[in-house]
A and B are shown apart, each in its own frame.
Chain A
Amino acid sequence: MTTNNLGLYIHIPFCRQKCKYCDFLSFPCTSEQVYGEYVTAVGMEMDMRREDCAGYETDSVFIGGGTPSLLSPEDLTRLMEKVRENFRVTDDAEITIEANPASLTRDKIAAYLAAGINRISIGIQSFDNQVLRRLGRLHDKNEAFQKIQMARKAGFDNISIDLMFGIPEQSNKTWLDSVRQGIFLGPQHISLYSLELEKGTPLYREVYEEKKFDPTPEIIDREMYHDAVELLKQAGYRHYEISNTARPGFESRHNLKYWSYQEYLGVGPGASSFFGGKRFRNYAKMNAYINAIKHRTVPMDAATIEHYSELEEMGIYVFTGLRKEEGISLTDFRQRFEVDLFSVYDPAILRRHKGMINLYDNRLYLTDAGRDVSNRIMAEFV
């Protein structure tokens, strides 16, 4: 029996408080007891998945959130034990934890390293205190500096930071200052996220209803993006995916799985999976999730499994692949689907989006200009 590789995603759906722009699945909660109970529940979910994953080697684990750094060293250790108990984690696996500078401590960092976590992704967002306040972050610039240094000194040699742009009334200058400071600190991986103002978030209300701030014009947003990418490239980072840059060899394996048509299993409420050829999502409501676990059943509704046709899967392959700098290989496409890409899709797409999407050396990829309007191009393939 051949073994497949698997990415494991563990969702930690708690935050001390929600940031003003966030519409991800997380609940404000400060109770250590609840965290502990939750770790037990997610451990039970992994127990249930053990058999399904017997034929897989897990070469990436990603503990994301929410705020995974809220977990105590003990809970985190327990969680990682459960991972190793149920999944065949390879020796060279990439094991990432997301951390918020505000809750990251020396003890926790030590516990991460002891549990075999070898990559830490720190949610910095900005090195500008005014911007951090506007976003409702719990940390300031100094704390961000400190925690990055702390992680490095403790022994992390694969550190990622998130930076955010297009924040209301953030200027291109203050943004690029944050990028420069990020580069100066020398993390192996820097993610760049353009802020999306989502309906229902406090920041959305402040901008569009209370009109406290002006939204960033699209044209400025794009300037910020391209200028930042330029700085990062000069500093030796590879722009390997729309929102991610890394020093060569430090591209996130887990992140790439999403864009490379590889399998991943998500545990925890709301977690998504592409597993055994199926795409599904766990219950997003905490009650429903916990209830299912209590009854020793998989915390998802089988009726919500997406059954995509071969053609739809091809579309997913293409639009996810196009997020990567390297794009997609026509040879891989043919090997996987046993048909030529351009016998499925109209070659006129290339003409319609001239200068946005290129075909070179048997690879189909987006240009810098194409990345700005990637949705329009990707929509051609769904």
Chain B
Amino acid sequence: MKDYKKYIRNFSIIAHIDHGKSTLADRIIEKTGLVSKRDMREQFLDNMDLERERGITIKLQTTRLVFQSKDGNEYIFNLIDTPGHVDFTYEVSRSLAACEGAVLVVDATQGVEAQTLANVYLAMDEDLEIMPVLNKIDLPSARPDEVKQEIEDVIGVEAMDAPLVSAKEGTGIEELLEQIVEKIPAPQGNENSPLKALIFDSYYDNYKGVVIYTRVFDGKIKKGDMIRLMNTGKKYEVTEVGTLSPGPVECAHLMAGEVGYVCASIKQVADARVGDTITLADHPADQPLPGYKKVQPMVYCGIYPAEGEKYENVKDALEKLQVNDAAFHFEPETSTALGYGFRCGFLGLLHMEIIVERLEREFDLAVITTSPSVIYKVVMNDGTVKMVQNPTNLPDPVLIDHIEEPMVKADIMVPKDYVGSIMEICQERRGRMINMEYITENRVNLHYDMPLNEVIYDFFDALKSKTRGYGSLDYEFSRYEPSKVVKLDILLNKDLVDAFSMIVHESKAYSRGRFVCEKLKEIIPMHQFEVPIQASIGQKIIARETVRAYRKDVIAKCYGGDISRKKKLLEKQKEGKKRMRQFGTVEVPQEAFTAVLKYDDNK
């Protein structure tokens, strides 16, 4: 028992999207015999349908594995999976903090990418041992030697004896597992010191309340303990502890170095925040573990029930999602155009897309989302500061001294042939280049200072489109900076539709106004009257389009009594109408809201 820590390895797998992290995790699980191949679904750790479909990991899953090493000992592997996207950096950093090492998966055909780097830096910040592994070695275009050199040059970790694996075909996994035993350090810590356990994830269970995923650094936790969460200060009684296989398996206690779960009748995920430290209420640690931060939403948008959808249903669904997602915020708001709905805050655009998609898919709801917005710092003439995330709430310009917008530091990694087009799209989006470095002969890392506002709009789509999918992006908030932004309104048939309002930079207002008007003209069907579509800044109309009126919608002939044919025609027409939203006298198809946000290659 004394030496139990020697046989534990806590590690994460970090990788760029598509580099095969989840498939590799599957193979590791399979090899260690946790699940038989027969019972395995593809990509075991990605348990949301959405994750499976998009091939990305959003929510962490953690698994305890038993590995029989060639050295004759049995090892406990705690594999802590991390989400792979730029929006979830903080979650990544906390799960990394629960580990001693990180297995860095690099696609042997693609090499190092922006997110690989971002995640490696996160792992280095946590002082983890980084163990590179080359995946997709089965592909003919794999160039392992070059990529190994790239890893050493760019990341600066030893890579020459990195295992060569094909997660798809299951080759090289044995070697990888042995290297984990060999290279990743066993956990330290003292089981007799006061309890210090890191919360690195949590989810809500209908029966148990919040289930906390934790890594114990010091001390011991068991059922019946009174615990205190050191940052929120709240106290709870532990009702259950156990390990994750990956389903919960109850055990007597968790001790220093171990990873598992804790239940303590906690009602909301937000009460057990990722990054917080668990200690014992009557025998507390003096210092919490470092690195706690309350994550703040960076992007906001309105979510409204679509025509025919019930407000209550949307509210229930949002509440359910929030219980499980501390980073997601919402509060009720009303729009003149869309009625009752919610203002929702997200970590980033992907986070927003995922929430909206989950509402539609898991909850089967029809919702309308309004243009995403960042949070502007509005400094009033009297010196007071207002944070505005809904364009409608922007105060009267005469009362405003100036407005500041959030800036981010963006790292864009592309093959060198695309540098020109990237510089162009960054410049169009008010980006300022800080510097540019060659990672290898062919790959470049561009560092930009950019307004978040421009990043969330269509930057990612533009990047992917201009680089044929080879470009990758990582960004983090840097600061607020004074900026000349204005509120752009859209009027349909002279009525302002607040749901289309957006805050844009002065220099972009005209082109955005024109773009939105043109898009809406394509989308809004003909009415019995002419529908003017106008874009305005205050009283000034800066763009206009007109949807002409239809005069005729009638079938003259009778198709020789083929009533079914006529019925189908009318049904189609009715179906089209259902997806419309009435604004004053104008009917607008729901897709108008997303269409005005789409990146347009021909623009």
Contact = CB atoms under 8 A, between A and B. Distances in A.
**Bound pair (A, B):** yes
Nearest to A369: B528
Contacts of B558: 243, 255, 258
Interface stretch (A84-92, A102-110, A114-122, A218-226): A218-226
Contact of A272 (B528, B554, B555, B559): B559
Given A316-B567, A375-B573, A376-B573, A264 B561 contact: yes
B249 interface: no
A283 interface: no
Given A316-B567, A379-B577, A266 B553 contact: no
A203 to B, nearest CB: 15
A222 B551 contact: yes
B570 interface: yes
A340 interface: no
**Main SS class of interface, B:** helix
Interface in B539-570: 550-564, 566-567, 569-570
A348 to B, nearest CB: 12
- Residue of A196, A376, A381 contacting most chain B CB atoms (<10 Å): A376
Contacts of B559: 272
What class of interface size applies to chain A in its complex with B? 35 or more
Contacts of A382: 567, 570-571, 574
A258 B556 CA distance: 14
A192 B557 CA distance: 9
A274 B561 contact: yes
A376 B553 contact: yes
Interface residues on B, range: 20 to 34
A194 B552 contact: yes
Given A218-B550, A266-B561, A242 B556 contact: yes
A193 B556 contact: yes
Interface in A249-297: 255, 257-258, 264, 266, 270-274, 279, 281
A147 interface: no
A11 B560 contact: yes
A236 B291 CA distance: 91
A315 interface: yes
Given A221-B551, A374-B554, A279 B563 contact: yes
A266 B561 CA distance: 9
A319 B570 contact: yes
A378 interface: yes
Interface in A355-370: none
Contacts of A379: 570-571, 573-574, 577
B573 A279 contact: no
B44 to A, nearest CB: 45
A373 interface: yes
Nearest to B568: A382
18 contacts: A9-B561, A24-B560, A218-B551, A218-B552, A242-B554, A243-B556, A257-B561, A270-B560, A272-B559, A272-B562, A315-B567, A371-B554, A373-B528, A374-B554, A375-B553, A379-B571, A382-B567, A382-B570
Interface of B: 528, 550-564, 566-567, 569-571, 573-574, 577
Interface of A: 9, 11, 24, 64, 192-196, 218-219, 221-222, 242-243, 255, 257-258, 264, 266, 270-274, 279, 281, 306, 312, 315-316, 319-320, 371-376, 378-382
